[in-house]
Amino acid sequence: MVELLQLKQQFKSTRIAKQASSSILFSPPPLASSAKKILKNEAVQLHRSRFN
């Protein structure tokens, strides 16, 4: 909790905190962006109901 209060004092606004974090943090792309995409028409044709 003390660390949180120190960070709040150090970074007075969200804008300042985001500017500081952009030079420190690296955020990789989401896993879904690397997944194989399937067309909607193909997905509909491949769909099997589990109740049949």
Arithmetic mean of pLDDT, 42-52? 86
Can you give the three-state secondary structure of the chain, one letter per residue? CHHHHHHHHHCCCHHHHHHHHHHHCCCCCCHHHHCCCCCHHHHHHHCCCCCC
- Assess whether pLDDT exceeds 70 at residue 49: yes
**What pLDDT sits at residue 7?**
79
**What pLDDT sits at residue 42?**
93
Confidence of residue 48 (pLDDT cuts 50, 70, 90): confident
What token pair was written down for 36?
């194989």
